[in-house]
Amino acid sequence: MNAGRTARERARVELTQEITDAARRQLAEVGAEALSLRAVARELGMVSSALYRYFPSRDDLLTALIVDAYDALGDAAAEADRQAGRHPTRRWRAVSAGVRDWAREHRYEYALIYGSPVPGYQAPQQTISSAVRVPAVIGGLLAAAWQEAGPAMTAVAGTGPLPGRLAEQTGIVGAAIAPSVPGAGLPAPVVARALVAWTQLFGMISFELFGQFVGSADPADDFFGYAVDQLADLLGLPD
């Protein structure tokens, strides 16, 4: 480990890590907009200008946090999926709950990636491959379910044509899933329903964290479980 690296290189890697860690802690305290380079530097006992050796600007530090957050959430989803065994419905429930739990434990990181975009900030290409990890986990479990019980799933999803460009869009997504799960792409109607499940999942989590459920589904645990089961039905997953 660290073979062939100079002390300088090792120090650089470690300090870059320490900076993002400190920034994450600050994020958890004050939120994304109030996150300041100077406060991060202060926490590390450095002078603020020193950070510019590691991140060329505040936006780049933000980008690193965004990528880290997507990755951490992706890890949480993948780990929940892994522990759930093989049954598709169990996997879907586990992934949903894993995503929600992560979001509740990291509300500011969640808000950073799924809340209002920071004005003036443009997410670079770099974030996309990390952003796609939760959808990929969902796609993976659906592809496995499809391999086991394809016809039953289509029966539920129906075979009617999808409206307008949705057929094309879901086709592309289905094809994109194929390489990661040997031998199985997903048909467009299943992908369309997966998109519904995906938006519903994050819609509920955002409503819960951002306070929209006050006065109705608050606390949201039971509603969340109920909706996840509804979505399992919608997806044609076995009981």
Partner DNA sequence: TGTACATCAGTGAACGCGCGTTCACTGATGTAC
**Tokens representing 170?**
């879901």
What residues numbered 153-182 form the site for a second copy, per CB under 8 A?
Answer: 162-166, 169-170, 172-173
Verify binding: residue 226, a second copy, rule CB under 8 A.
yes
**E strands, the chain, where?**
none
3-state helix, strand, coil in the chain (%, to 5): 70, 0, 30
DSSP element (H, E) containing 183: none
What residues numbered 19-48 form the site for a second copy, per CB under 8 A?
Answer: 30-34
Task: State the Rg of the chain over Cα.
Answer: 21
Asked if 196 and 231 count as a contact pair (C-beta separation under 8 A), the reply is: yes
Stretch that binds DNA, among 10-18, 120-128, 151-159, 218-226 (CB under 7 A): 10-18
Closest CA to 201 of 130, 137, 154, 124: 137
Q: State the binding partner of 2 from DNA, a second copy, none, CB within 5 to 8 A by kind.
A: none
Q: Which residues bind to DNA, rule: CB under 7 A?
A: 6-9, 11-12, 15, 35-39, 45-50, 52-54, 57-59
Q: Which residues bind to a second copy, rule: CB under 8 A?
A: 30-34, 108, 111-112, 114-120, 123, 128, 131-132, 135, 162-166, 169-170, 172-173, 192-193, 195-196, 199-204, 206-207, 210-212, 214-219, 221-223, 225-227, 230, 234
